[in-house]
Amino acid sequence: MQIEKGRVVTLNYTLSDEGGKLIDASKDGDFAYLHGAGNIIPGLENALAGKEAGETLTVSIAPEDAYGLRDDTKTQTVTRDMFPEDAEVKPGVQFHAQGSEGQPIVVTVTQVEGDAVTVDGNHPLAGVALHFEVEVMAIRDATAEELSHGHAHGPEGQHSH
Ligand code: ZN
């Protein structure tokens, strides 16, 4: 069985950046996604199409096909009173905020200088080229429920929510 739209694929993978720094990994057969539903980044989904269980592949993905390029206009400096009083505001901490059109975004604090807090609305992996080592563990047809939800319900499809 090949990977194609409407199938649930279980992967073991290691994700690192260009410098080889580990970003994320799943190696216990726990990660499953619904192919063709935009559940994973486009560059990886495209590379997996047509593969079969047992195949391994190495995929390098440009930022454009991963989490996008960095947009410096998404960085701004705001005052400390924009944050909840009891919140710990320091570099690396993330907050939920609203974008310019009211859409929900996650911002990351990058700098704090007195009352001035610089936040970055870019995805933490924006502008980062990604390097995946992937092993295709299993492929199965998605259940009707998974297809209607647009995502996989775990490797066995039994997870309900
Ligand atoms: Zn669901």
29 backbone dihedrals φ, ψ, rounded to 5°: 70, 20
Please identify every residue whose CB atom is under 5 Å from ligand 1, which is an ion.
149
Average pLDDT for 46-53? 97
Could you tell me the distance, in angstroms and rounded to a whole number, from the CA of residue 146 to the centre of ligand 1? 6
Q: What is the predicted pLDDT for the residue at 159? A: 62
Q: What is the predicted pLDDT for the residue at 101? A: 83
Could you tell me the distance, in angstroms and rounded to a whole number, from the CA of residue 51 to the centre of ligand 1? 25
Q: Give the pTM.
A: 0.76
Helix (H) or strand (E) holding 107: strand 104-113
Could you tell me the distance, in angstroms and rounded to a whole number, from the CA of residue 159 to the centre of ligand 1? 8
Amino acid at 143: T
Q: What is the predicted pLDDT for the residue at 104? A: 84
Could you tell me the distance, in angstroms and rounded to a whole number, from the CA of residue 148 to the centre of ligand 1? 8
**Do 156 and 30 meet the contact criterion of CB atoms below 8 Å apart?**
no
Q: What is the predicted pLDDT for the residue at 99? A: 75
Could you tell me the distance, in angstroms and rounded to a whole number, from the CA of residue 129 to the centre of ligand 1? 30
* pLDDT above 90: percentage of residues in the chain: 78
Average pLDDT for 1-8? 97
Q: What is the predicted pLDDT for the residue at 124? A: 84
Q: What is the predicted pLDDT for the residue at 161? A: 55
Q: How far apart are CA 68 and CA 125, in angstroms?
A: 8
Could you tell me the distance, in angstroms and rounded to a whole number, from the CA of residue 137 to the centre of ligand 1? 21
Q: How far apart are CA 91 and CA 111, in angstroms?
A: 5
Q: What is the pLDDT of residues 89-138, one digit of tens each?
A: 999 999 988 877 888 888 999 999 999 999 999 988 999 999 999 999 99
pLDDT band with cut points at 50, 70 and 90 for residue 57: very high
Could you tell me the distance, in angstroms and rounded to a whole number, from the CA of residue 38 to the centre of ligand 1? 14
Could you tell me the distance, in angstroms and rounded to a whole number, from the CA of residue 147 to the centre of ligand 1? 9
